[in-house]
A and B are shown apart, each in its own frame.
Chain A
C-alpha cells in the first residue's frame, strides 16, 4: 500500500499517522506539502491527518480545504482513490466538499482529549474490513469541534445508505447521549462519501496501534486497508 500524507501548516498529527502507516503497511508514506499540486504517482491511499491547519482560522479546515494540493486530492477521490481524513482532516474534507455536513463546536464547549468508545457499524468497506460489524473499539479523540451536523435530508441519506461507519457508543455498543461526548447528530463519529472511497472520522485510530500506546484497537483500520490493496493486487 503506497500512502501519501498531506501536510498543511499547523497540522501536528502527521508523524503519528506516518508512524502507524509505516508500522502496519511496512512502507514509508510520502509526505506531500500543501502547496504541491500533484500526488506521487501510484498513490493508493491519501491521508489527511489531524492538527490545527492554519490555526483553525476562519473555520476549522476552511483554509486548508482551498490549498493547491486539495485539487489533486479531489481529482484522486473522483477517480475512486481511497482517502482517509482524520480529525482536522475530517473537517478539511467537509470544507473541501469531499464529504457532506459540518463539524461544529462540541456541544459542551470543551476541548475533549481522552479515549472514547466507537461502535463499528459495517465491516464490508475497505476502511472497516479489519473489524466486525457491531464491534466496539476504544480510540482517542482530541478535538474542540467534532460535533457533526448536517441537514435532515443529508442525515437521512447517510443513515439510509449505511454511510455511518463509526458511532460514539458505550463500552457495550449502546448508542446513548451520555456516551456522545461532543453532541454529534446520531452519535456520528465517521462517515463515508456516496461512492464509499472517502472516510472522515474525528477519533484518531493512528494513536492506538502499538502495545506501548496502551491499546491496539486502531490497527484494524490500517490492517484492513493493507488487506484491501493486497486483495486488489
Chain B
C-alpha cells in the first residue's frame, strides 16, 4: 500500500528557506506569488492492506521521527494499491 506523509512548518514559524524561494520566484518574474513555505514529503510503502494499521504506524513514524512537532505539523494519506 502506498502512503504519503507531508510535513509542513507550523504557522508563525519563520521559514528562511521559504522566504528565499519566494524572493527567487519574484526575481524570475513569476507573478502573483505572495508567500512560499517549504515542507517535506515522504512516500512510504507499507506491506499488507490494513488501512487503519497503516495509519497508526505512520502516525507513530511521524511523531517519533518524521516531524519535529515543536515546529512542524504533518498530514498522513494512505492510498490504494
Total A-B Cβ pairs within 8 A:
35
What is the CB-to-nearest-CB distance from B58 to chain A, in angstroms, rounded to a whole number? Answer: 15
User: Given the interface contacts A109-B20, A149-B13, does A62 sit within 8 Å of B65 by beta carbon?
Assistant: yes
Q: Which residues of A contact B70 (CB under 8 A)?
A: 100-102, 150-151
Cross-chain contact B66 with A107 (CB below 8 angstroms): no
Q: How large is the interface on B (under 10, 10 to 19, 20 to 34, 35 or more residues)?
A: 10 to 19
Q: Mark A166-181, 1 if CB is under 8 A from B, else 0.
A: 0000000000000000
Q: Which residues of A contact B14 (CB under 8 A)?
A: 104, 107, 149, 183
Q: Which residues of B contact A62 (CB under 8 A)?
A: 65, 68
Cross-chain contact B65 with A66 (CB below 8 angstroms): yes
CB closest residue in chain A, given B71: A102
CB closest residue in chain A, given B42: A58
Q: Mark B35-56, 1 if CB is under 8 A from A, else 0.
A: 0000000000000000000000
Q: Which residues of A contact B66 (CB under 8 A)?
A: 58
Select A95's contact among B17, B20, B68, beta carbons within 8 Å. B68
Cross-chain contact A149 with B71 (CB below 8 angstroms): yes
What is the CB-to-nearest-CB distance from A151 to chain B, in angstroms, rounded to a whole number? Answer: 8
Q: Give the docked Cα–Cα distance between A108 and B9 (Å).
A: 18
Is A59 at the interface (CB under 8 A from chain B)?
yes
Is B81 at the interface (CB under 8 A from chain A)?
no
Q: Which residues of A contact B64 (CB under 8 A)?
A: 66
Select B68's contact among A59, A106, A108, beta carbons within 8 Å. A59
CB closest residue in chain A, given B70: A102
Additional A-B contacts beyond A104-B14, A183-B16 (14; CB < 8 A): A58-B65, A59-B68, A62-B65, A63-B65, A95-B68, A102-B68, A104-B16, A104-B71, A105-B17, A107-B16, A108-B16, A149-B13, A150-B70, A183-B14
What is the CB-to-nearest-CB distance from A177 to chain B, in angstroms, rounded to a whole number? Answer: 14
What is the CB-to-nearest-CB distance from B67 to chain A, in angstroms, rounded to a whole number? Answer: 9
Q: Which residues of B contact A95 (CB under 8 A)?
A: 68
Cross-chain contact B68 with A109 (CB below 8 angstroms): no
CB closest residue in chain B, given A61: B68
Q: Mark B63-81, 1 if CB is under 8 A from A, else 0.
A: 0111010110000000000
Q: Give the docked Cα–Cα distance between A59 and B66 (Å).
A: 9
Q: Give the docked Cα–Cα distance between A106 and B15 (Å).
A: 10
What is the CB-to-nearest-CB distance from B20 to chain A, in angstroms, rounded to a whole number? Answer: 6
**A-B contacts, 18 listed (Cβ < 8 Å):** A62-B68, A66-B64, A66-B65, A95-B68, A102-B68, A104-B13, A104-B14, A105-B16, A107-B14, A109-B16, A147-B16, A149-B13, A149-B14, A149-B71, A150-B70, A151-B70, A183-B14, A183-B16
Q: Give the docked Cα–Cα distance between A183 and B64 (Å).
A: 28
User: Given the interface contacts A101-B70, A102-B70, A104-B71, does A109 sit within 8 Å of B17 by beta carbon?
Assistant: yes
Q: Give the docked Cα–Cα distance between A7 and B44 (Å).
A: 30
